[in-house]
Structure 1
Amino acid sequence: MVGLLQAIPGPPSAGVPRSTPPSVAYSISLKNEAGILTYQNPKFLIMLTVHHLRRTGLSPVSFTLADGECMAVQGSSGSGKSLLLRALADLDPHEGEISLDGKSWDSIPATQWRRQVVYLPSEPGWWSNYVADHFPVWEEAIPWVEALDLPAAIRDRTLERLSTGERQRLALARALVLDPRVLLLDEPTSGLDNKSTYNVEQILKERLNRGTGLLWVTHDPAQARRVAQRCLFLENGHVHEEWL
């Protein structure tokens, strides 16, 4: 059974953030041998719309992401997964249409877009060696630091003293402080042990419950099934979606 997504008019729903346009509902069409069965679920509203997004090294991609939905992204190395996330975050030149909550990306200042659509690379960059420099208001970071099982004293450390896993979780805390509408996650648990991986997954599932949209690159099919409803596959220049 194959699922298709489309935006159709629909009423607003209780529990959906007001920043989400009330006129766009999340419609799911299920194809089977008997034909096409369609139903409308007004609980979920389209937050991110991508149409024919393309750039060097990336085949044209089109999809929608609903409010509070996680879509996994999979494909072999070099298939364009990271290029897709960077294009969505407006970090690299690209063509095509991207809109967030009904507003086109090119109508929103780049700095504002990147605070709402936050990219977390597999190897996060740090412009300073001091942890505190990356958190202007440390008090805002404390809940995330604690939730990610990082010591409060980490604020006074240098990054060179942190393990790969600590840096990875700290980068996630830095992204969560921004309270983005969409998180673009490039293998956010690749350097973590099982306990930390589980913890990160639970924290991000809670963000889904609060309406954050997630695009999650993972090489682990089991993880994709745990965290996502759909998967976007990039392979050999082709792109397709599947329900998980």
Structure 2
Amino acid sequence: MSDMTALPFAPIARQARRSPLFPLEVRDLTLRLGGATVLDAMSLDLGATGCTMIMGPNGAGKSLLLKLLHGLLAPSSGRITWGDIPAEAATGRQALVFQKPVLLRRSVAANIDFVLKARGKDPNRRDKLLAQVGLAHKARQPARLLSGGEAQRLALARALATEPEVLLLDEPTASLDPASVQAFEEILCETCRSGMRLVFVTHDVGQARRLADDVVFLHHGRVVEHSPAVEFFPHPRSAEARHYVEGRIVV
């Protein structure tokens, strides 16, 4: 995908909306699956504002870390604390957007209605949410007829319908064409401007350059670097991160 550095929404001006779920503290987090250690004594601190990009080669543990943060997996040892709240108590205050959206076999509007009702949210927010993601004109259409980019925007609207304090995203644009990526990123930038906290897994260095405030770089289940984006991209401290940014194979 092209770098698209001339997108009209950069740089992002954000409101300072501090969430009680932050600072996020990860301490000595270890995950073992099938006898193998896939995350190894990981520690990490994230502040209350901005967009954190989690990057690294395949198998580094990026998606697993996101699932642990969201409470979909339990660590083998270590702890995750959202502010003063243990991870298991913070799940309902987050939302996660996956790489492949799973939509209800209903209309576009009904997908939003379902989430609003399930979470006890104002049902009148549906039309605003659909307008926010550019799907108001497809409200009555079956969700299964949406294009890949439209389906992912609907998945994002459903996540936003829960009014999360933090939005977790697991490579949500990996299978989208450049125009759909741009449309999705524009919505995320609007979300950032509102002050919502984002934690975003991506392989796309260009996307990370456009959106990141800070970058967490993983390798073999460990945090190799965590630094502001303005420092990470021009001057990666580790050889692994430097090779990754340059598009070289990381072993």
Q: What TM-score comes out, normalization by structure 1 length?
A: 0.71
2:79 — aligned with what?
Answer: 97
Deviation, 1:153, is 3.0
CA 1:65–1:58: 2 relative to 1, 3 Å: same
Deviation, 1:196, is 3.3
Deviation, 1:176, is 0.8
1:135 — aligned with what?
Answer: 113
Structure 2: gaps of 5 or more residues: 1-14, 33-37, 117-122, 230-251
Q: In structure 2, what is the Cα distance between the partners aligned to 1:19 and 1:229?
A: 17
Matches within 5 A, 1:158-237: 158-237=142-221
Q: In structure 2, what is the Cα distance between the partners aligned to 1:199 and 1:53?
A: 35
Q: 1:122 aligns with which of 96, 99, 110?
A: 99
Q: In structure 2, what is the Cα distance between the partners aligned to 1:235 and 1:169?
A: 30
- Bigger share in helix: 2
**Contact in 2 for aligned 1:168/1:188 (Cα 8 Å):** yes
Q: 1:76 aligns with which of 45, 52, 57?
A: 57
Q: In structure 1, what is the Cα distance between the partners aligned to 2:152 and 2:18?
A: 32
Deviation, 1:187, is 1.3
CA 1:133–1:209: 2 relative to 1, 3 Å: closer
Q: In structure 1, what is the Cα distance between the partners aligned to 2:70 and 2:29?
A: 12
Q: Secondary structure at the match of 1:68?
A: coil
2:48 — aligned with what?
Answer: 67
The Cα RMSD (Å) is: 2.4
Residue type of the alignment partner of 2:171: E
CA 1:73–1:212: 2 relative to 1, 3 Å: same
CA offset digits 1:63-114 (Å, max 9, x no partner): 22222221111112222111111111101121322222322224x2xxxx32
1:48 aligns with 2:32: no
Residue type of the alignment partner of 1:20: P
Query: Which has the bigger relative contact order, CA under 8 A and spacing at least 6?
Result: 2
Residue type of the alignment partner of 1:48: L
1:20 aligns with 2:20: yes
Q: In structure 2, what is the Cα distance between the partners aligned to 1:170 and 1:60?
A: 36
Identity of aligned residues (%): 34
Q: Secondary structure at the match of 1:135?
A: helix
Deviation, 1:16, is 4.9
Q: In structure 1, what is the Cα distance between the partners aligned to 2:54 and 2:68?
A: 14
Residue type of the alignment partner of 2:113: F
- Bigger share in strand: 1
CA 1:114–1:164: 2 relative to 1, 3 Å: same
Q: Secondary structure at the match of 1:86?
A: helix
1:40 — aligned with what?
Answer: none
CA 1:153–1:205: 2 relative to 1, 3 Å: closer
CA 1:17–1:227: 2 relative to 1, 3 Å: closer
Q: How many residues align?
A: 199
2:248 — aligned with what?
Answer: none
CA 1:141–1:53: 2 relative to 1, 3 Å: farther
Q: In structure 2, what is the Cα distance between the partners aligned to 1:18 and 1:149?
A: 28
Residue type of the alignment partner of 1:238: R
CA 1:206–1:102: 2 relative to 1, 3 Å: farther
Residue type of the alignment partner of 1:97: R
Q: In structure 1, what is the Cα distance between the partners aligned to 2:184 and 2:138?
A: 20
**Contact in 1 for aligned 2:111/2:158 (Cα 8 Å):** no
Q: In structure 2, what is the Cα distance between the partners aligned to 1:66 and 1:146?
A: 30
Q: In structure 2, what is the Cα distance between the partners aligned to 1:146 and 1:194?
A: 21
